[in-house]
Amino acid sequence: MKKSIFFVTAILIAVTSCTLDKTDYESEISTIVTEHFEYSEVVSFNKNDYQISIEALNGTFYKGFNDFRLKIINTQTNESLNTSEVTFLPVITNYNGNNSSCPHRYNLDYNSTEEYYSGYAVFTSYSTDSENWKLHLSFTDNDQIYTIAEEIIVEEQINMNLNMTTFTGSDGEQYFIALIAPQKPRIAENELVAGIYRYDQPSDEAGTFPDPSQFSYSEVSDYTLLLDPRMPEPSMGNHSSPNNEDLLQDDDGLYHGIVNYTMTGNWTLNFRMQNQYGEILKGTEVSTEFTPGIEGTRSDLHIDILF
């Protein structure tokens, strides 16, 4: 019996050693993850007697979820504009001249305490030589409407804990899931926060560009994001963890759950997205078997993270 146990153990060690030789996971795991808490200016521009500035975390727009603050100052009076309806529409143009957008808050909310307009954008790609993002803004003062179109730079998101994915559900709708927190997970039970959005198919033909009805997105309500986190690399054998909680929508419109990371490394968040009627719109169950030496199978709805 002891010989049999020793033989099996030896095989597992050999398989794991071979796997580690072929895959440089150590270089990935050594990636330094920086948390950002401070808002600073991303872009600033003028329109007549007004200065418009936009702040975001780390002073950068990234691919994925971006919370931002927009301020409008009357340069003649040096006062903040606080009575306006402000609209925000990001549009990306590719090398063929085709235009599209991304999940965003079109009508911005005003924070009277801090004197800024708040919004978000889930940029689906970063800026390249062939794909350029432009912000289309409007605001009103003294019954006059001002419109602005300014190019912006969207950077690649290097923090895999803030990854996103886009897909078509079984209902034919286009969905987007963007991770928002934690920026830097711990070996512990972490609050997992994500946004779920849907593209609103236009019901009418396009009007004058940029027609916001052609670039409309909704925050998905009352869905459930079923969660099964696993370490898919062969050396981890499809390892999971206890005490995880599915993501449910909270009062802030975002989806909150718990993910328990028991060690650092490569993790996959396997999801199944369930609508308010209990129907699975995307995602497959993954095996719970321990499979050392074999890469774990991912759900067809998943996001890879690393910490």
DSSP the chain: -HHHHHHHHHHHHHHHHHHHHH--HHHHHTPPP-----EEEEEEEEETTEEEEEEEETT-EESEEEEEEEEEEETTTTEE--S---EEEEEEE-TT--EE--SB-SBPEEETTTTEEEEEEEESS---SS-EEEEEEEEEETTEEEEEEEEE-EE----GGG-EEEEE-TTS-EEEEEEEE-SS--SSEEEEEEEEEEE---SS---SSS-GGGS-EEE--S-EEEEEEEB-SGGGTTB--SS-EEEEE-TTSSEEEEEE--SSSEEEEEEEEE-TTS-EEE---------TTSPPPPPSSEEEEE-
- Residue 17 and residue 46 in one domain: no
Range from 172-176, 197-201, 291-295 carrying the lowest mean pLDDT: 291-295
Per-residue pLDDT, 29: 53
Q: Quick one: 172 and 58 in the same domain?
A: no
- If asked whether residues 108 and 175 sit together in one domain, one would say no
Q: Quote the pLDDT of residue 30.
A: 54
User: What pLDDT, on a 0 to 100 scale, did the predictor assign at position 86?
Assistant: 97
CB distance 273 to 222 below 8 Å: no
List of residues 6+ apart from 151 with CB closer than 8 A? 132, 133, 134, 135
| Residue % of the chain over a pLDDT of 90 | 83
- For 137, 187, 206, the CA distances from 126, given in Å and listed in that order, are 20, 30, 26
User: 42 and 93 in contact (C-beta within 8 Å)?
Assistant: no
pLDDT averaged over every residue in the chain = 90
Residue 57 has pLDDT above 80, yes or no: yes
| Pair (63, 142) in one structural domain | yes
Based on the fold, state whether residues 151 and 171 are members of the same structural domain.
no
Query: Once rounded to an integer, what is the mean pLDDT over residues 153-167?
Result: 97
Question: What percent of the chain shows pLDDT beyond 70?
Answer: 90
> In terms of residue numbers, what domain contains 121?
39-155
Cis-peptide into 234, omega within 30 deg: no
pLDDT at 28: 53
Q: pLDDT tens digits for 206-265?
A: 999 999 999 999 999 999 999 999 999 999 989 999 999 999 999 999 999 999 999 999
Say yes or no: 80 and 199 in one domain.
no
pLDDT of residue 225: 98
Assess whether 166 and 302 both reside in one domain.
Answer: yes
Do 297 and 280 belong together in one domain?
Answer: yes
CA distance 274 to 139: 38
- Could you say which of 140, 155, 170 is where a domain stops? 155
d(CA 188, CA 87): 40
**What's the pLDDT band for 20 if we cut at 50, 70, 90?**
very low
pLDDT digits (tens, 9 = 90+) for 64-95: 999 999 999 999 999 999 978 999 999 999 99
Mean pLDDT of 106-115: 95
Same-domain check for residues 20 and 136: no
151 and 165 fall within a common domain: no
Pairing of strands 61-62, 154-155: parallel
Q: What is the tens place of the pLDDT at every residue in 121-146? A: 999 999 999 999 999 999 999 899 99
| Domain end call among 131, 155, 179 | 155
- Please check the confidence at residue 304 and state whether its pLDDT lies above 90: yes
Judge whether residue 26 has pLDDT over 60.
no
> Can you give the CATH number for the domain in which 115 is found?
2.60.40
Average the pLDDT over each of 15-19, 34-38, 81-85, 294-298 and give the range with the smallest value: 15-19
| Confidence grade of residue 2 (pLDDT, cut at 50, 70, 90) | very low
CB 100 within 8 A of CB 90: no
pLDDT 10s digits, 40-55: 999 999 999 999 999 9
Q: Do 26 and 163 lie in a common domain?
A: yes
Of 175, 153, 130, the C-alpha closest to 63 is 153
Domain count, the chain: 2
Please tell me whether residues 140 and 190 are part of one structural domain.
Answer: no
Q: How far is CA 120 from the centre of its chain?
A: 11
Among 155, 188, 222, the domain boundary falls at: 155
**Distances in Å between the alpha carbon of 11 and those of 7, 208, 290?**
6, 67, 15
21 burial (CB, 10 Å; 0-12 / 13-18 / 19+) is exposed
Whether 7 has a pLDDT exceeding 90, the answer reads no
Residue 106 confidence (pLDDT) above 50: yes
Range 20-37 average pLDDT? 59
- Count the Cβ atoms, other than its own, within 10 Å of residue 122: 22
Query: What are residue 27's phi and psi, to 5 degrees?
Result: -65, -35
